[in-house]
Structure 1
């Protein structure tokens, strides 16, 4: 014997089925059909069939977007790229990135969706100097100090946290005069020197506070000054994106702390190799050096 609730459901399904087969559905059957069949249009529209993204496809730039529906894995050229449960991802392009890159999503059904990217070149600030570079590399004594520091920086950048700051529009950690721009470089009688890896911001005197440009987790907070960076603070924003703040006079957070965008995290100084108080802010995605101003926009 069919229970009353089961009988009601069976009769409802039968009416819908008869109406669909006969093609001559009554008004009642049409109403039942509309109620019984789910509307999939809104959920389907929320998941893209192709890549969608916004950002700056240029040297030192970045993009943030969503993978196609059904993506199992994602690559940027030869680099495996993680993405969130909602399909969101972040990738960036080095200061010296080549003119092209390719996103490849491998789908659950084995198909691949590709998107070719054109990476626009930048006109970097180049200063030609009519003197030769100083001969000889760093001394053994210096490298004895430097190697452990480089190992700590590399280990910090290799850390993966649950930070979600990569999803946010970034803000400036401090406002002031930009005294050094990302990507600028000196050329010594035709021999290129190292390019400037971040943005130098001069704001007041030592002790001026600066804030987190986005949410993150503290992955390095130097308890003693590094030879070049001085008091070094590093924040992971998630998905391989991180910020480094150099020459601090004081660090106000500890390793492992979760910080929020706009939270005061340190004070500007001139520790390490610096000629005056300023904040050097550099950013990296994986091994790619990127330009902070392309994440914040111009300073207002």
Structure 2
């Protein structure tokens, strides 16, 4: 069945996608996924309402309509994770559309996503992690931007920082000390040793950065001098991993994941890795490092021998 969209809806969809690209730095892959998800929803509404999807039918979508859509998707075998992603795209579109058109979007925005177990990102092999850092440097023709991207990715892999933690560093953190004091989730502080490679990468960036890195201002800057948007690092890594032939799981968070996994594989103490990552419980670290139970027990027993 051909999807019939009114010119007004087509215009709205394209305008929203442009908005996501311009203001939220959405990548082409992300925009493609958004388009597919929202078009799938609109296709359902065509059949559900028995009429062309215009702005008026979109504005009157209610709770029962949303339930019917989700039931339809599950009925045709869509996994909970994929449905949650589609719902997120639909909500984003409706949030923007309702503000533009002036209708109440509560029925859509209040729809709960199906529950699913989040998969942890797969770690990169050690040589792949090094190749990622080297290839990230090739993504920009501006020397200081290339140095900036290398510095950020090196902090993710070399210090196990979250992207938000790396981009939360300020001018007073440079040059990097031997130990960084990081404020993580929930305001929890932890101390993270800084490798020479990370210190050198950040030092090269600060030497080349054309902006004044005031002590209270963000350390990592965008090309216009504002705080660096994490989506830009995701985009750079996306380009690099495609050049390297790495899977889509090679994300900024996967670099932190690789940091933990490689430390554990090298015989690192599980409790120490827990502290470095800023996890509140050991069980979180066990799941995060994605190693087999036998290996975890071996490390655990060495650290806590039985009497």
TM-score range (shorter-chain normalised) is under 0.3
Greater strand percent: which structure? 1
Greater helix percent: which structure? 2
- TM-score, normalised to structure 1's length? 0.23
- TM-score, normalised to structure 2's length? 0.22
